[in-house]
């Protein structure tokens, strides 16, 4: 039978592992982002109907932002739980040390938001230009409104504390 101290140590280790895995997921988000940008922008610079596919990029970027925002939310929950865990067990660990620090940059979220929004706007500009060149103003207008919605959803997904 496992005693409660041993169980607490195992839980703490498991939670630290989960937090580390989610921090590693940040790198995976950047990898997916770079792959999406490369694929869609190459297609968008082509001639013909394939160039319209660049208008799918803002939607894909919005979903990537939702995943990244959710991941950051879970990291925050894990850190809060670990902090409370350390308090309960009278342990001064990293979360205890880190909590009172007021200089948090959040630079990974700022960078990802900027990169996604900038590339979404560029994709919209390229795609809408293609639509106007083939005399499709209604599709261009619809793409603009859908694009503005997806750009705003990126900002909300990455900057909300939900």
The total of structural domains in the chain comes to 1
The two structure tokens encoding residue 126: 């390229």
Over residues 59-81, the pLDDT tens digits come to: 999 999 999 999 999 988 998 88
Task: Look up the domain containing 148 and give its range.
Answer: 4-159
Cβ atoms within 10 A of the Cβ of 99, count? Answer: 13
Identify the pLDDT of residue 97.
Answer: 74
- pLDDT at residue 26 is higher than 70: yes
Prediction pTM value: 0.85
Over residues 78-116, the pLDDT tens digits come to: 988 888 888 888 887 777 777 766 555 678 889 999 999
As a whole number of angstroms, the distance between CA 111 and CA 41 comes to: 20
| Enclosing H/E stretch for 105 | none
Identify the pLDDT of residue 161.
Answer: 62
pLDDT classification of 122: cutoffs 50, 70, 90 = very high
In percent, how much of the chain has pLDDT > 90? 48
Identify the pLDDT of residue 59.
Answer: 94
Identify the pLDDT of residue 114.
Answer: 94
Which has more pLDDT, 93 or 32? Answer: 32
pLDDT classification of 3: cutoffs 50, 70, 90 = confident
């Amino acid at each position: 039978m496992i005693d409660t101290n041993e169980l607490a140590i195992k839980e703490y280790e498991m939670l630290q592992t989960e937090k580390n895995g989610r921090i590693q997921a940040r790198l995976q988000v950047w990898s997916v982002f770079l792959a999406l940008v490369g694929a869609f922008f190459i297609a968008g610079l082509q001639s013909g109907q394939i160039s319209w596919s660049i208008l799918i990029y803002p939607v894909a970027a919005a979903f990537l932002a939702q995943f990244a925002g959710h991941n950051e939310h879970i990291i925050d929950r894990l850190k809060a739980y670990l902090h409370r865990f350390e308090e309960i067990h009278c342990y001064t660990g990293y979360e205890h040390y880190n909590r009172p620090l007021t200089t948090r940059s959040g630079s990974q979220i700022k960078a990802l938001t900027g990169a996604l929004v900038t590339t979404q706007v560029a994709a919209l500009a390229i795609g809408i230009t293609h639509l106007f060149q083939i005399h499709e103003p209604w599709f261009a207008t619809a793409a603009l409104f859908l694009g503005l919605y997806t750009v705003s959803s990126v900002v909300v997904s990455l900057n909300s504390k939900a």
